[in-house]
Structure 1
């Protein structure tokens, strides 16, 4: 993908990212590397000037984000990702707005994945802790029954314990056959659970491999993982 915002300069300079069914793919790299921009390009939130976005064998580059959700993409942005004045359950129901079927079973699956949300389902989402808000955001995206779940910095601002718990839940989601594409600042921990890892630098692929390969790569360790 080559692209950027509006008529501004390109931020992505030939980025290639791939995630197969049930895999966890992680994008890491320094600040300003284009990680979140790459995620937004996949979701249709900025212009891809050349290259393609293939989903289930179809080039969806011209589709709106809403149309991509209908195709099976779920996206959880880093901030402003819940309705704070609405209850937890109402937030989850909002995630099912495109569905015409009964989504009660999906709601129960989300509550099984995040039991604290069931306990607090009638509370305003704005009253929850940072980690619980992230659970609401992920749960709402899961209500769309996505084939691909995209997470932009899901552990930003949460404690190490909450981060580990969120990663455990992400692994559980992938085991159900949902693909995960994740931008993550906690690079070492994210690569430990990654089937595929992509290190971006200045809007281009710098290193690509399995999570284990990148964790073992001396150059990656020195440049991006603190040695």
Structure 2
């Protein structure tokens, strides 16, 4: 069984299903990327994994434990960290206060983890006393990822982490994501920059209308002529 095994997820909002037997799996310390056209159900799939969407079918297991019935808060305590696409920082709090908020479930000394976040994102140390709302978009994303890392997650989930940032900042964020995975943390990421995301992906999922269309390694999907033509712009 994979470290994260979200199998045959079916569900949606109201009476309409958006996900149709969608399956996502992530191995320990690996990066899995979800790509696909707008409206494909990518973010919905992430919310289902995190417990923000009640499933009508399917199951979610983390590290061998069935967590399908758990709330998002309970999933955080089991080792999930989730960074939403928007409204993902507390703008009137300082950078350091944002990071401290990420440690709210911790009962141990979290200062070592904060130091690791500052080493991963040096700009945050420099701006630690600045309000998060005053930062650039890329810096706010670093705060959001850093706050999620403060929970010491086993699985880090990122919903379009490079949305609205420059290509240079995007490359830097992807480099940091690779560094996080090298520490043994599994990554599940929805990304609009499909080509760049698949370049760093161990596994790639192409979703269409809430269902799995293609699943393979990132390199294999990049090399697939049909995937390139339909989803990667040729």
Normalised to the residue count of structure 1, the TM-score between the two structures is: 0.99
Q: Structure 1, residues 116-137: CA drift from partner, whole Å, max 9, x if none?
A: 0000000000000000000000
Residue number among 150, 153, 156 corresponding to 2:163 in the alignment: 156
By percentage of residues, which structure has more strand?
Answer: 2
Report what 1:20 is aligned to.
27
Indicate whether 1:201 and 2:208 are aligned: yes
Name the count of aligned residue pairs. 226
Report what 1:173 is aligned to.
180
Shift of 1:58: 1.3
Normalised to the residue count of structure 2, the TM-score between the two structures is: 0.96
Report what 2:16 is aligned to.
9
Report what 2:3 is aligned to.
none
Indicate whether 1:104 and 2:108 are aligned: no
Helix, strand or coil for the counterpart of 2:55? strand
Q: Which runs of 5+ in 2 are unaligned?
A: 1-8
Indicate whether 1:40 and 2:47 are aligned: yes
Q: Which runs of 5+ in 1 are unaligned?
A: none
Separation in 2 of the partners of 1:31 and 1:137?
24
Q: List aligned pairs for 1:69-84, cutoff 5 A.
A: 69-84=76-91
Provide the alpha-carbon RMSD of the alignment.
0.4
Separation in 1 of the partners of 2:210 and 2:17?
9
Structure 1 runs of 4+ with >3 Å offset? none
Separation in 1 of the partners of 2:58 and 2:85?
25
Report what 2:67 is aligned to.
60
Residue number among 139, 146, 156 corresponding to 2:153 in the alignment: 146
